[in-house]
Amino acid sequence: MNKAKITILRRIENGTIILVTGAKAALKCQRLSKEENKDDMTIPMVMTLNEIPIVQMSPSYCPTCCGLLAAGYGIDNANCSELFEISNYINGGFTDLESLIETIKPLIGLFNDGVYLIRDTKTFPTDGEGNFFWDVSNKLEYYDAFADAYYISELYEAANIDGVFLYPTQSPDKYDESRVQHYMDMFSKLENPPRAIAYNAMSGMSALLDGHHKACAAARLHKPLDTIMITPGRLGGRLEDLYFGFGYCDENMRINLNEIKGIAKVLCMKIIKNIISQNNTNPVYNAELGEGRFTEREWEDFYKESVKFYPTAEQYAAESVLRYDKVADMTEDEIYKHILKQENPRYYAQMLMHFLYRHNLKQVEPILKKFVNLPVSVETQQVIGTALKYLINFKSEETEELCMKFVIEDTEYLADIAKDYWEDVEES
């Protein structure tokens, strides 16, 4: 029986911060060893559900360094009745966040007692590095998005990635094409489609608890995935000024202990004492981890190619720092002049081209042609190459002539990019 109590602490735009008490602690992240790995500055851990490993993880204790992830045993092997219980309800369509919180209460009851941010947000069915989200390895691999914040060396700034990239918890052998087609149909027809559910315990990446076929449908439609994202709050601050935070760079999302009143504050103090106690004792996962059991699958080309419609971790971070919100109302000439005024025009232009392409804004093709037609030099080659990568998707006689010119006249770098213009023609 679910005895968890949920108390709403604060409502924010598209989200709610809640206090959870009396939960089962069945879904949690545990250390695999008391020792940190000093070679790569990581902490060996595992995310478990009912003591079954669903994601092996090695977060870095350097906040802007990436960690490692490996697929687990598959969430179905955890025999989680609570997930099965809510699946039919969340697939019926989305109404509002507070009603949905009550619907997913059985799932929330699996957490550790603590403070959580629950958001209705957009995620991307990719790993943040140009790979389809479900195409993962059983072996530990580095992921740029698995960091507290992404450091943009070109701008000397760090940015949150907001958990928007997805990591699977279900083995690919559970893939069902009919389910994907079902959700593609729903996403095309419904104004408020059913949501996926993700647990954001991996900073810029989130473990997908429910919605693998929804994520596939979103990829096929080249759309973001509507997702209910659950982020556990991290305790921070000094003893006299404690807070729960939900992002390395986002102080606006913090909830200070001083703003919590009454019994909720008493319960928070108990949780804080427990957190401090656990940090001192370093509890570890005692069962044998063994080999991951995800099966291998050769994903269709339409899944592999869908990733070009989503940002990488770097592009997402850069967009949040460079702020392209005003660009949508500019002409291509105004955009070009705007780029030249930036502190780092080359980097700004490269990130902007992806933004324009991903959002299919009307200025994208003209601005790409402007950059492709720049005189080729050591300084401009990289920008031209970026523009060319996107322009080859706009098939026309003019684009074909431009590509032919690069194949015949220019550097191997640009010629190799230009040759991709005819790739689809050769395959058809």
For the chain, 428 residues long, give each residue's pLDDT as a single digit of tens.
568 899 999 988 888 999 999 999 899 999 888 788 888 889 999 999 998 999 999 999 888 999 999 988 889 888 888 888 887 777 776 778 888 888 889 999 999 999 999 999 999 999 999 999 999 989 999 999 999 999 999 999 999 899 999 999 999 999 999 999 999 999 998 888 889 999 998 889 999 999 999 999 999 999 999 999 999 998 888 877 889 988 876 777 888 888 889 999 999 988 888 887 776 555 688 888 888 889 999 999 999 999 989 999 999 999 989 888 788 888 888 998 899 889 899 999 999 999 999 888 888 999 999 999 999 888 889 999 999 999 998 989 999 999 999 999 878 899 999 999 887 544 43
Q: Find out whether 141 and 101 touch, Cβ atoms under 8 Å.
A: no
C-alpha 235/C-alpha 159 separation (Å) is 20
Predicted structure pTM score: 0.90
Which tens digit of pLDDT belongs to each residue from 238-281?
Answer: 877 889 988 876 777 888 888 889 999 999 988 888 887 776 55
Per-residue tokens: 42: 């990581």
Nearest to 44 by CA among 53, 52, 35: 35
Exposed e or buried b per residue across 193-203, where buried means at least 16 C-beta atoms within 10 angstroms of its C-beta: bbbbbbbbbbb
- Number of other CB atoms surrounding residue 103 within 10 Å: 17
Q: Find out whether 220 and 302 touch, Cβ atoms under 8 Å.
A: yes
Which tens digit of pLDDT belongs to each residue from 318-368?
Answer: 998 988 878 888 888 899 889 988 989 999 999 999 999 988 888 899 999
H or E segment and range at residue 399: helix 397-409
DSSP bridge pairs for 238: 241
Strands (DSSP E) found in 22-146: 27-31, 45-49, 52-58, 67-71, 114-123, 141-143
Domain ranges of the chain: 5-281, 323-427
Q: In a 3-state reduction of DSSP, which class is residue 7? A: strand
Q: What is the DSSP string of 112-126?
A: PSEEEEEEEEEEBSB
DSSP bridge pairs for 37: 42
Q: How many DSSP H helices and E strands does the chain contain?
A: 15, 17
- Work out the burial of residue 398: count CB atoms within 10 Å of its CB; fewer than 13 is exposed, 13-18 middle, 19 or more buried: exposed
DSSP bridge pairs for 231: 117
User: CA distances (Å), 186 to each of 71, 91, 137, in order?
Assistant: 29, 10, 30
What are the φ and ψ backbone dihedral angles of 315, each rounded to 5 degrees? -65, -40
- Number of other CB atoms surrounding residue 306 within 10 Å: 23
Q: Note the residue count of the chain.
A: 428
Q: In a 3-state reduction of DSSP, which class is residue 369? A: helix
Cα angle for residues 321, 327, 331 (degrees, 5° grid): 155
| 78 secondary structure, DSSP code | G
Q: Find out whether 47 and 54 touch, Cβ atoms under 8 Å.
A: yes
